[in-house]
Protein backbone atom coordinates (compact mmCIF):
# COMPACT_ATOMS: atom_id res chain seq x y z
CA UNK A 1 0.00 0.00 0.00
CA UNK A 2 2.76 2.40 0.98
CA UNK A 3 4.69 1.75 -2.22
CA UNK A 4 1.56 2.35 -4.29
CA UNK A 5 1.12 5.69 -2.55
CA UNK A 6 4.72 6.56 -3.31
CA UNK A 7 4.11 5.74 -6.95
CA UNK A 8 1.09 8.03 -7.09
CA UNK A 9 3.33 10.78 -5.75
CA UNK A 10 6.46 10.22 -7.80
CA UNK A 11 5.04 9.27 -11.19
CA UNK A 12 4.61 12.96 -12.08
CA UNK A 13 8.30 13.69 -11.48
CA UNK A 14 9.77 11.75 -14.40
CA UNK A 15 7.72 8.82 -15.70
CA UNK A 16 4.59 10.85 -16.45
CA UNK A 17 6.14 14.32 -16.36
CA UNK A 18 3.30 16.62 -17.44
CA UNK A 19 5.47 18.81 -19.67
CA UNK A 20 7.96 16.46 -21.31
CA UNK A 21 5.99 13.23 -21.48
CA UNK A 22 2.24 14.05 -21.44
CA UNK A 23 2.85 17.42 -23.15
CA UNK A 24 0.21 19.37 -21.25
CA UNK A 25 0.34 23.00 -20.16
CA UNK A 26 2.77 24.10 -22.83
CA UNK A 27 1.75 27.76 -23.08
CA UNK A 28 3.04 28.89 -19.66
CA UNK A 29 5.97 26.49 -19.99
CA UNK A 30 7.38 28.53 -22.83
CA UNK A 31 5.77 31.88 -22.06
CA UNK A 32 7.19 32.61 -18.60
CA UNK A 33 10.52 30.78 -18.61
CA UNK A 34 12.80 33.71 -19.49
CA UNK A 35 14.00 33.90 -15.86
CA UNK A 36 14.48 31.15 -13.31
CA UNK A 37 12.43 32.94 -10.66
CA UNK A 38 9.44 33.22 -13.02
CA UNK A 39 9.59 29.51 -13.72
CA UNK A 40 9.60 28.75 -9.99
CA UNK A 41 6.82 31.28 -9.28
CA UNK A 42 4.63 29.80 -12.00
CA UNK A 43 5.39 26.29 -10.76
CA UNK A 44 4.44 27.12 -7.18
CA UNK A 45 1.18 28.75 -8.29
CA UNK A 46 0.29 25.67 -10.31
CA UNK A 47 1.15 23.36 -7.39
CA UNK A 48 -1.17 25.37 -5.12
CA UNK A 49 -4.08 25.38 -7.59
CA UNK A 50 -3.56 21.76 -8.61
CA UNK A 51 -3.38 20.42 -5.05
CA UNK A 52 -6.45 22.27 -3.81
CA UNK A 53 -8.56 21.66 -6.91
CA UNK A 54 -7.65 17.96 -6.77
CA UNK A 55 -8.62 17.78 -3.08
CA UNK A 56 -11.93 19.60 -3.56
CA UNK A 57 -12.92 17.75 -6.71
CA UNK A 58 -12.13 14.45 -5.08
CA UNK A 59 -14.21 15.40 -2.01
CA UNK A 60 -17.13 16.53 -4.16
CA UNK A 61 -16.94 13.73 -6.71
CA UNK A 62 -20.12 12.05 -5.43
CA UNK A 63 -22.08 15.32 -5.19
CA UNK A 64 -21.37 16.87 -8.60
CA UNK A 65 -23.73 15.43 -11.25
CA UNK A 66 -21.87 13.83 -14.10
CA UNK A 67 -23.40 16.01 -16.83
CA UNK A 68 -22.21 19.32 -15.37
CA UNK A 69 -18.88 18.11 -14.04
CA UNK A 70 -16.62 20.06 -16.43
CA UNK A 71 -18.19 23.50 -15.69
CA UNK A 72 -18.10 22.68 -11.96
CA UNK A 73 -14.41 21.76 -12.13
CA UNK A 74 -13.68 24.98 -14.00
CA UNK A 75 -15.43 27.04 -11.32
CA UNK A 76 -13.45 25.32 -8.54
CA UNK A 77 -10.18 25.82 -10.43
CA UNK A 78 -10.98 29.46 -11.25
CA UNK A 79 -11.71 30.19 -7.59
CA UNK A 80 -8.25 28.96 -6.54
CA UNK A 81 -6.58 30.81 -9.41
CA UNK A 82 -8.26 34.01 -8.22
CA UNK A 83 -6.86 33.39 -4.73
CA UNK A 84 -3.35 32.91 -6.14
CA UNK A 85 -3.69 36.08 -8.24
CA UNK A 86 -4.72 38.17 -5.23
CA UNK A 87 -2.03 36.75 -2.93
CA UNK A 88 0.71 37.27 -5.53
CA UNK A 89 -0.48 40.78 -6.31
CA UNK A 90 -0.20 41.63 -2.61
CA UNK A 91 3.02 39.83 -1.61
CA UNK A 92 5.10 39.31 -4.77
CA UNK A 93 4.21 42.19 -7.11
CA UNK A 94 7.34 41.81 -9.27
CA UNK A 95 6.60 38.15 -10.08
CA UNK A 96 2.93 39.09 -10.55
CA UNK A 97 4.03 41.62 -13.20
CA UNK A 98 6.41 39.17 -14.87
CA UNK A 99 3.89 36.33 -15.09
CA UNK A 100 1.29 38.78 -16.42
CA UNK A 101 -1.44 37.16 -18.44
CA UNK A 102 -0.20 33.65 -17.73
CA UNK A 103 -1.36 33.85 -14.11
CA UNK A 104 -5.11 34.04 -14.89
CA UNK A 105 -4.49 31.58 -17.70
CA UNK A 106 -3.72 28.85 -15.13
CA UNK A 107 -7.51 28.34 -15.30
CA UNK A 108 -7.20 26.86 -18.78
CA UNK A 109 -3.95 25.03 -18.08
CA UNK A 110 -4.76 21.56 -19.38
CA UNK A 111 -2.75 19.87 -16.60
CA UNK A 112 -5.21 20.93 -13.91
CA UNK A 113 -8.43 20.06 -15.72
CA UNK A 114 -6.69 16.96 -17.07
CA UNK A 115 -5.80 15.68 -13.58
CA UNK A 116 -9.31 16.52 -12.32
CA UNK A 117 -10.89 14.49 -15.09
CA UNK A 118 -8.33 11.68 -15.26
CA UNK A 119 -7.50 11.23 -11.57
CA UNK A 120 -9.28 13.26 -8.89
CA UNK A 121 -12.84 12.28 -9.79
CA UNK A 122 -12.04 8.57 -9.47
CA UNK A 123 -9.71 8.44 -6.48
CA UNK A 124 -9.64 9.14 -2.74
CA UNK A 125 -8.83 12.54 -1.29
CA UNK A 126 -5.37 11.44 -0.06
CA UNK A 127 -4.39 9.93 -3.41
CA UNK A 128 -5.64 13.02 -5.24
CA UNK A 129 -3.58 15.21 -2.91
CA UNK A 130 -0.45 13.15 -3.61
CA UNK A 131 -1.16 13.16 -7.34
CA UNK A 132 -1.54 16.94 -7.27
CA UNK A 133 1.74 17.39 -5.42
CA UNK A 134 3.58 14.98 -7.72
CA UNK A 135 2.29 16.47 -10.96
CA UNK A 136 2.84 20.01 -9.66
CA UNK A 137 6.43 19.26 -8.66
CA UNK A 138 7.08 17.60 -12.04
CA UNK A 139 5.71 20.69 -13.77
CA UNK A 140 7.84 22.99 -11.59
CA UNK A 141 10.98 20.95 -12.27
CA UNK A 142 10.37 21.08 -16.03
CA UNK A 143 9.79 24.84 -15.91
CA UNK A 144 12.87 25.43 -13.78
CA UNK A 145 15.03 23.35 -16.13
CA UNK A 146 13.83 25.23 -19.22
CA UNK A 147 14.14 28.61 -17.50
CA UNK A 148 17.63 27.72 -16.24
CA UNK A 149 18.89 26.81 -19.72
CA UNK A 150 17.26 29.84 -21.33
CA UNK A 151 18.52 32.31 -18.76
CA UNK A 152 22.07 30.98 -18.35
CA UNK A 153 22.77 30.74 -22.07
CA UNK A 154 20.50 33.53 -23.27
CA UNK A 155 21.35 36.24 -20.74
CA UNK A 156 24.25 34.88 -18.70
CA UNK A 157 22.41 35.32 -15.41
CA UNK A 158 20.41 33.31 -12.88
CA UNK A 159 17.68 35.39 -11.26
CA UNK A 160 16.49 34.25 -7.84
CA UNK A 161 14.82 35.97 -4.90
CA UNK A 162 16.74 39.01 -3.56
CA UNK A 163 17.71 38.43 0.08
CA UNK A 164 19.69 40.73 2.38
CA UNK A 165 22.82 42.00 0.62
CA UNK A 166 22.31 39.59 -2.29
CA UNK A 167 20.37 41.28 -5.11
CA UNK A 168 19.06 37.97 -6.44
CA UNK A 169 21.02 37.90 -9.71
CA UNK A 170 23.97 35.53 -10.22
CA UNK A 171 26.14 36.41 -13.23
CA UNK A 172 27.80 33.63 -15.22
CA UNK A 173 31.15 35.08 -16.42
CA UNK A 174 31.50 33.90 -20.04
CA UNK A 175 27.82 33.94 -21.01
CA UNK A 176 27.22 37.32 -19.43
CA UNK A 177 29.62 38.91 -21.95
CA UNK A 178 28.61 36.74 -24.91
CA UNK A 179 24.98 35.68 -24.43
CA UNK A 180 23.12 33.54 -26.98
CA UNK A 181 20.28 36.08 -27.19
CA UNK A 182 17.99 33.96 -29.34
CA UNK A 183 17.23 31.70 -26.36
CA UNK A 184 15.48 34.50 -24.49
CA UNK A 185 13.27 35.22 -27.52
CA UNK A 186 10.11 33.35 -28.46
CA UNK A 187 11.85 31.46 -31.26
CA UNK A 188 14.55 30.17 -28.90
CA UNK A 189 11.95 28.76 -26.52
CA UNK A 190 10.33 26.71 -29.28
CA UNK A 191 13.70 25.47 -30.57
CA UNK A 192 14.89 24.51 -27.08
CA UNK A 193 11.62 22.68 -26.35
CA UNK A 194 12.05 20.73 -29.59
CA UNK A 195 15.58 19.64 -28.69
CA UNK A 196 14.64 18.76 -25.10
CA UNK A 197 11.67 16.69 -26.27
CA UNK A 198 13.93 14.93 -28.79
CA UNK A 199 16.38 14.20 -25.96
CA UNK A 200 13.64 12.61 -23.84
CA UNK A 201 12.41 10.58 -26.82
CA UNK A 202 15.97 9.39 -27.47
CA UNK A 203 16.36 8.50 -23.82
CA UNK A 204 13.09 6.53 -23.80
CA UNK A 205 14.04 4.68 -26.98
CA UNK A 206 17.46 3.84 -25.56
CA UNK A 207 15.93 2.33 -22.39
CA UNK A 208 13.50 0.27 -24.42
CA UNK A 209 16.51 -1.00 -26.35
CA UNK B 1 -6.33 53.65 -38.83
CA UNK B 2 -6.45 52.29 -35.29
CA UNK B 3 -8.22 49.18 -36.59
CA UNK B 4 -5.59 48.56 -39.29
CA UNK B 5 -2.95 48.82 -36.58
CA UNK B 6 -4.82 46.32 -34.39
CA UNK B 7 -5.10 43.86 -37.26
CA UNK B 8 -1.41 44.09 -38.22
CA UNK B 9 -0.37 43.87 -34.57
CA UNK B 10 -2.34 40.75 -33.73
CA UNK B 11 -1.82 38.90 -37.02
CA UNK B 12 1.90 39.52 -37.48
CA UNK B 13 3.73 41.43 -34.76
CA UNK B 14 2.17 39.82 -31.70
CA UNK B 15 1.13 36.59 -33.39
CA UNK B 16 -0.62 34.62 -30.64
CA UNK B 17 1.15 31.35 -31.23
CA UNK B 18 4.58 32.39 -32.41
CA UNK B 19 5.36 35.28 -30.08
CA UNK B 20 2.91 35.03 -27.17
CA UNK B 21 2.74 31.24 -26.76
CA UNK B 22 -1.05 31.24 -26.46
CA UNK B 23 -2.77 28.23 -27.99
CA UNK B 24 0.30 26.00 -28.28
CA UNK B 25 -1.63 22.79 -27.57
CA UNK B 26 -3.69 22.90 -30.79
CA UNK B 27 -0.62 24.24 -32.64
CA UNK B 28 1.13 20.95 -31.91
CA UNK B 29 -1.95 18.73 -31.64
CA UNK B 30 -4.18 19.72 -34.57
CA UNK B 31 -1.53 20.67 -37.13
CA UNK B 32 -0.99 17.24 -38.66
CA UNK B 33 -3.05 17.96 -41.78
CA UNK B 34 -4.14 21.23 -43.35
CA UNK B 35 -7.87 20.46 -43.51
CA UNK B 36 -8.28 20.13 -39.77
CA UNK B 37 -5.94 23.09 -39.26
CA UNK B 38 -8.27 25.31 -41.31
CA UNK B 39 -11.33 23.95 -39.47
CA UNK B 40 -9.77 24.57 -36.06
CA UNK B 41 -8.58 28.02 -37.12
CA UNK B 42 -12.03 29.06 -38.32
CA UNK B 43 -13.72 27.77 -35.19
CA UNK B 44 -11.24 29.61 -32.96
CA UNK B 45 -11.55 32.88 -34.92
CA UNK B 46 -15.34 32.69 -34.70
CA UNK B 47 -15.38 32.03 -30.95
CA UNK B 48 -12.68 34.63 -30.25
CA UNK B 49 -14.64 37.33 -32.06
CA UNK B 50 -17.86 36.64 -30.16
CA UNK B 51 -16.09 36.03 -26.84
CA UNK B 52 -14.33 39.39 -27.14
CA UNK B 53 -17.66 41.20 -27.42
CA UNK B 54 -19.41 39.29 -24.64
CA UNK B 55 -16.56 39.40 -22.13
CA UNK B 56 -16.13 43.13 -22.81
CA UNK B 57 -19.83 43.67 -22.09
CA UNK B 58 -19.72 41.50 -18.96
CA UNK B 59 -16.69 43.35 -17.62
CA UNK B 60 -17.81 46.90 -18.38
CA UNK B 61 -21.56 46.61 -17.78
CA UNK B 62 -21.63 44.08 -14.97
CA UNK B 63 -18.38 43.65 -13.07
CA UNK B 64 -17.20 47.27 -13.01
CA UNK B 65 -20.49 48.88 -11.85
CA UNK B 66 -20.88 46.21 -9.16
CA UNK B 67 -17.24 46.63 -8.07
CA UNK B 68 -16.52 42.95 -8.70
CA UNK B 69 -13.49 43.25 -10.99
CA UNK B 70 -11.68 40.54 -9.04
CA UNK B 71 -14.19 38.01 -10.41
CA UNK B 72 -12.82 38.66 -13.91
CA UNK B 73 -11.08 35.31 -14.42
CA UNK B 74 -13.94 33.30 -12.95
CA UNK B 75 -16.70 35.03 -14.92
CA UNK B 76 -14.78 35.09 -18.21
CA UNK B 77 -14.11 31.37 -18.22
CA UNK B 78 -17.75 30.65 -17.41
CA UNK B 79 -18.93 32.97 -20.18
CA UNK B 80 -16.56 31.34 -22.65
CA UNK B 81 -17.57 27.81 -21.65
CA UNK B 82 -21.27 28.67 -21.97
CA UNK B 83 -20.67 30.49 -25.25
CA UNK B 84 -18.83 27.55 -26.82
CA UNK B 85 -21.65 25.23 -25.80
CA UNK B 86 -24.24 27.65 -27.18
CA UNK B 87 -22.40 28.14 -30.49
CA UNK B 88 -22.11 24.38 -30.82
CA UNK B 89 -25.87 23.94 -30.36
CA UNK B 90 -26.75 26.71 -32.83
CA UNK B 91 -24.41 25.45 -35.52
CA UNK B 92 -25.62 21.89 -35.05
CA UNK B 93 -29.25 22.96 -35.51
CA UNK B 94 -28.90 25.49 -38.33
CA UNK B 95 -25.94 24.42 -40.38
CA UNK B 96 -25.17 20.71 -40.36
CA UNK B 97 -22.46 21.23 -42.98
CA UNK B 98 -20.59 23.74 -40.84
CA UNK B 99 -21.09 21.48 -37.82
CA UNK B 100 -19.50 18.63 -39.75
CA UNK B 101 -16.49 20.84 -40.42
CA UNK B 102 -16.09 22.54 -37.03
CA UNK B 103 -17.99 20.25 -34.65
CA UNK B 104 -15.15 18.18 -33.26
CA UNK B 105 -13.01 21.25 -32.59
CA UNK B 106 -15.56 23.24 -30.62
CA UNK B 107 -15.29 21.40 -27.28
CA UNK B 108 -11.51 21.82 -27.43
CA UNK B 109 -11.84 25.59 -27.64
CA UNK B 110 -13.04 26.13 -24.07
CA UNK B 111 -9.63 25.22 -22.72
CA UNK B 112 -7.73 27.01 -25.48
CA UNK B 113 -5.77 29.73 -23.71
CA UNK B 114 -5.95 31.97 -26.78
CA UNK B 115 -9.66 32.68 -26.16
CA UNK B 116 -9.34 33.57 -22.47
CA UNK B 117 -6.08 35.31 -23.38
CA UNK B 118 -7.68 37.76 -25.82
CA UNK B 119 -10.56 38.42 -23.41
CA UNK B 120 -8.14 39.42 -20.63
CA UNK B 121 -5.86 41.32 -23.02
CA UNK B 122 -8.78 43.44 -24.29
CA UNK B 123 -9.39 44.58 -20.73
CA UNK B 124 -5.74 45.25 -19.84
CA UNK B 125 -5.19 47.14 -23.12
CA UNK B 126 -8.29 49.25 -22.41
CA UNK B 127 -9.92 48.67 -25.80
CA UNK B 128 -13.46 49.83 -26.54
CA UNK B 129 -16.12 47.42 -27.81
CA UNK B 130 -15.29 47.65 -31.55
CA UNK B 131 -11.53 47.50 -30.90
CA UNK B 132 -12.02 44.41 -28.74
CA UNK B 133 -14.00 42.72 -31.48
CA UNK B 134 -11.32 43.59 -34.07
CA UNK B 135 -8.56 42.33 -31.79
CA UNK B 136 -10.47 39.08 -31.27
CA UNK B 137 -10.92 38.50 -34.99
CA UNK B 138 -7.35 39.56 -35.79
CA UNK B 139 -5.84 37.30 -33.14
CA UNK B 140 -7.97 34.46 -34.52
CA UNK B 141 -6.68 35.11 -38.04
CA UNK B 142 -3.11 35.18 -36.74
CA UNK B 143 -3.74 31.88 -34.96
CA UNK B 144 -5.18 30.36 -38.15
CA UNK B 145 -2.25 31.63 -40.22
CA UNK B 146 0.34 30.03 -37.96
CA UNK B 147 -1.66 26.81 -37.68
CA UNK B 148 -2.16 26.44 -41.45
CA UNK B 149 1.49 27.25 -42.23
CA UNK B 150 2.56 24.71 -39.65
CA UNK B 151 0.26 22.00 -41.01
CA UNK B 152 1.66 22.52 -44.51
CA UNK B 153 5.20 22.21 -43.22
CA UNK B 154 4.31 19.03 -41.34
CA UNK B 155 2.60 17.50 -44.39
CA UNK B 156 5.77 18.12 -46.39
CA UNK B 157 7.93 16.77 -43.61
CA UNK B 158 6.11 13.44 -43.61
CA UNK B 159 7.73 12.74 -46.96
CA UNK B 160 11.25 13.37 -45.73
CA UNK B 161 13.46 11.20 -43.56
CA UNK B 162 13.63 12.54 -40.00
CA UNK B 163 15.76 10.97 -37.26
CA UNK B 164 13.74 8.69 -35.01
CA UNK B 165 14.09 10.81 -31.86
CA UNK B 166 13.02 13.96 -33.71
CA UNK B 167 9.96 12.44 -35.40
CA UNK B 168 6.58 14.07 -34.69
CA UNK B 169 6.45 16.59 -31.87
CA UNK B 170 10.16 17.55 -31.52
CA UNK B 171 10.60 18.46 -35.18
CA UNK B 172 7.27 20.31 -35.05
CA UNK B 173 8.61 22.47 -32.21
CA UNK B 174 11.84 23.14 -34.08
CA UNK B 175 9.98 24.13 -37.27
CA UNK B 176 7.77 26.34 -35.11
CA UNK B 177 10.90 27.98 -33.70
CA UNK B 178 12.27 28.67 -37.17
CA UNK B 179 8.87 30.10 -38.16
CA UNK B 180 8.95 32.35 -35.10
CA UNK B 181 12.40 33.58 -36.17
CA UNK B 182 10.94 34.51 -39.56
CA UNK B 183 8.04 36.31 -37.87
CA UNK B 184 10.53 38.44 -35.96
CA UNK B 185 10.87 40.42 -39.18
CA UNK B 186 7.50 41.94 -38.28
CA UNK B 187 8.03 44.37 -35.43
CA UNK B 188 6.80 47.68 -34.09
CA UNK B 189 9.01 49.54 -36.60
CA UNK B 190 7.00 47.99 -39.42
CA UNK B 191 3.84 49.48 -37.97
CA UNK B 192 5.31 52.99 -37.69
CA UNK B 193 6.71 52.76 -41.23
CA UNK B 194 3.36 51.65 -42.62
CA UNK B 195 1.07 54.03 -40.76
CA UNK B 196 3.40 56.92 -39.89
Record: contact B177-A78, CB cut-off 8 A: no
Q: How far apart are CA A17 and CA A24, in angstroms?
A: 9
* Rounded to 5°, angle at Cα B3 from B2 and B5: 65
A30, A89, A101, best to mutate vs chain B, most B CBs in 10 Å: A101
Instruction: Say yes or no: ipTM exceeds 0.90.
Output: no
- pLDDT score of A1 more than 70: no
Record: contact B81-A70, CB cut-off 8 A: yes
What pTM does this model have? 0.88
Give A28 to chain B, closest Cα distance, Å.
Answer: 7
Which residue of A101, A109, A110 is in closest CB contact with B121? A101
Tens of pLDDT, residue by residue over B42-85, are 888 989 999 999 999 999 999 999 988 888 989 999 899 888 88
Residue of A nearest to B121 (CA): A101
Record: contact A75-B74, CB cut-off 8 A: yes
Give A7 to chain B, closest Cα distance, Å.
Answer: 27
Q: How far apart are CA A17 and CA A138, in angstroms?
A: 6
Helix (H) or strand (E) holding A161: none
Record: contact B77-A195, CB cut-off 8 A: no
Instruction: Return all residues near A48 (Cβ < 8 A) that are at least 6 apart.
Output: A80, A84, A136
Tens of pLDDT, residue by residue over A4-22, are 888 888 888 888 888 888 8
Instruction: Return all residues near A139 (Cβ < 8 A) that are at least 6 apart.
Output: A12, A17, A18, A19, A25, A43, A46, A47, A50, A111
Tens of pLDDT, residue by residue over A146-189, are 999 999 998 888 888 777 667 777 887 888 888 888 888 888 99
Q: How far apart are CA B109 and CA B23, in angstroms?
A: 9
Which residue of B24, B81, B176 is in closest CB contact with A27? B24
Q: B28, B169 in Cβ contact below 8 A?
A: yes
Nearest CA to A125 among A57, A58, A63?
Answer: A58
The DSSP annotation for A52-95 comes to HHHHHHHHTTTTS-GGGHHHHHHHHHHHHHHHHHHHHHHH-HHH
> Is residue A158 helix, strand or coil?
strand
Amino acid sequence: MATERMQVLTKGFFKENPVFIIMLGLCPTLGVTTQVINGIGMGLSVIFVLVFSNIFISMLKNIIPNSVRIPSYIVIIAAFVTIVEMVMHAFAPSIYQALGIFLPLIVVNCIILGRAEAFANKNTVLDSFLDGVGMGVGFTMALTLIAFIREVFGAGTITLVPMGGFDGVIEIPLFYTYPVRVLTLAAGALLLMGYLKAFFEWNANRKRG
Amino acid sequence: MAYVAIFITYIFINNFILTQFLGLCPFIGVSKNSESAIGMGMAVTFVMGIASIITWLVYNLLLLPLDLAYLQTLSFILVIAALVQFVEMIIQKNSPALYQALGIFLPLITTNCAVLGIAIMNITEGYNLMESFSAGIAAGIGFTLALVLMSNIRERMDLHPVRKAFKGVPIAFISGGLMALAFMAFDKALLTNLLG
